[in-house]
Structure 1
Amino acid sequence: MSETRFQVLRRRLVNEAIQQGWRRVRKAGGIAPGTMAADRFGTFGDGSIVGFPTATLYGEKQMHIGEETLIGCWATLAAGYTPEQTTVPPRALVIGDRCVIGLRCGIVAHESIEIDDDVWFGQDVFITDANHGFDDLDIPIGQQLGPHQPVRIGSGSWIGHGAVILPGSQIGRHVIVAAGSVVRGEVPDYSVVGGVPAKVIRTRTRDDDRTRPDAHPELRPRGEYAFSRSKLTGR
């Protein structure tokens, strides 16, 4: 049975009301400077935002977020094993300035995860500085705790969609991690790594720089990101 004109109109209006309402809820629910949610963080920089809704969020007092950093919706940000843990280091999770953390990313810090300035993530990236233990054959793996191993990602790096950064990873500056890679260990500056486990595919050099003055002048950087606030807001 086909809809009447009134039913079609009602369906359209209800749909539009839901769409607009959800957009307003997401905008109002975002964690930004000046909100009580931001005040719960150890540091929350000017111009930064954590999108709403989050998937999991606890241990904010041990988290420090720099300026102009965007963390996408459905993110997991956790410091410690549980919200009640009182032994979490005061700077368990540090995210620098102008970082972008994509949708549905998970960052689980038990002692030390540090992400330097200008690091961009794709979606569904997962990072942790501790994993399950598995040495005791008589205890379920889920009940064993592995060692804490600090993680650091150097400035200017790009972590591709679905990558996993395991405990102990020390990723250098301006590194490219290919989508779906599993990283552990030390990654030198300017490397391109990929695979499971991730291996160095090549090292970027000045010869790769398409924006140097003598090559492709139309691609020279203009001093702001492609998705900078000034482009989005006109200010």
Structure 2
Amino acid sequence: MALLSREQIDEMGFGKVGENARLSSKASYYNCSNIVIGDNVRIDDFSVISAGEGGIEIGNYIHIAVYSSLIGAGKITLLDFCNISSKVAIYSSNDDYSGASMTNPMVPAEFTNVSHSDVIIGRHVIIGAGSVVLPGTTLEQGVAIGALSLVSKNCSEFGVYSGVPAKRIKARSRDLLELEKRFIEKGSD
């Protein structure tokens, strides 16, 4: 994977980019001034990070895998230790599919009915390949989303969710919280 140099990152005008950011030169970044990226973040090839008015905030120790998209006018927040698998799409904007209005960004706003709602991806969330997260959803700490799921409602902490629409299928272990403590302690030695 070809990575952007620190100089290239700085020239793009991001709101902020932390230490050890590994940003692919083959990913697309739009409205960089509204994108904040923490420490130890990797964004892989062919991902699209497109911030609207609300912006995109990416915490620390986060991986966004190939062909993933974060798109929309609402705010998208990824808290620490998230893992976004390949071909995941996270949207903070949505067209009106009812037929009462026209759709797509090439049609003037007076003829469309686009809604925007913030999306929050909590700490230690993992989202499986090919999943879609819709506007207005919160995935609380420790949520795991199975591959090819459609997340249209909030997900409660430490649950495993799967399906179309995604439903809670079982509890997820909290052991990773103890592992996080050990990881942080080891890093401060």
- Short-chain TM bin: 0.7 to 0.9
d(CA) in 1 for partners of 2:176, 2:151: 27
Deviations 1:54-75 (A, max 9, x none): 2x32100000000000011111
d(CA) in 2 for partners of 1:190, 1:202: 9
Partner of 1:119: 82
Partner of 2:97: 134
Question: Which amino acid is the alignment partner of residue 60 of structure 1?
Answer: C
Of structures 1 and 2, the one with the larger relative CO (CA 8 A, separation 6+) is 2
Partner of 1:159: 127
- Report the 3-state secondary structure (helix = DSSP H, G, I; strand = E; otherwise coil) of the residue aligned with 1:161: coil
1:128 positional shift: 0.9
State which of 36, 43, 59 in structure 1 corresponds to 2:16. Answer: 43
Partner of 2:65: 102
- In the alignment, does 2:160 pair up with 1:188? no
Greater strand share, structure number = 2
- Report the 3-state secondary structure (helix = DSSP H, G, I; strand = E; otherwise coil) of the residue aligned with 1:52: coil
- Distance change in 2, residues 1:185/1:52 (3 Å): same
- Distance change in 2, residues 1:111/1:104 (3 Å): same
d(CA) in 1 for partners of 2:132, 2:176: 29
Gap runs ≥5 in structure 1: 1-25, 81-87, 213-219, 225-235
d(CA) in 2 for partners of 1:109, 1:176: 23
Q: Quick check: 1:192–1:203 contact (8 Å CA) kept in 2? A: yes
Question: Which amino acid is the alignment partner of residue 141 of structure 1?
Answer: T
How large is the Cα RMSD of the aligned pairs?
A: 2.5
Deviations 1:164-187 (A, max 9, x none): 000011000011000000001211
- In the alignment, does 2:43 pair up with 1:71? yes
- Report the 3-state secondary structure (helix = DSSP H, G, I; strand = E; otherwise coil) of the residue aligned with 2:120: strand
- Report the 3-state secondary structure (helix = DSSP H, G, I; strand = E; otherwise coil) of the residue aligned with 2:148: coil
Deviations 1:136-172 (A, max 9, x none): 53x4333424211110010011111111000011000
Partner of 2:4: 31
Q: Quick check: 1:78–1:107 contact (8 Å CA) kept in 2? A: yes
1:115 positional shift: 0.4
Gap runs ≥5 in structure 2: 184-189
d(CA) in 2 for partners of 1:170, 1:221: 22
d(CA) in 2 for partners of 1:115, 1:127: 10
Q: Quick check: 1:77–1:106 contact (8 Å CA) kept in 2? A: yes
Deviations 1:5-63 (A, max 9, x none): xxxxxxxxxxxxxxxxxxxxx53xx224x323334100101101211212x32100000
Question: Which amino acid is the alignment partner of residue 109 of structure 1?
Answer: G
Deviations 1:68-110 (A, max 9, x none): 0001111101112xxxxxxx24xx1000000000011011131
Partner of 1:148: 116
Q: Percent identity?
A: 24
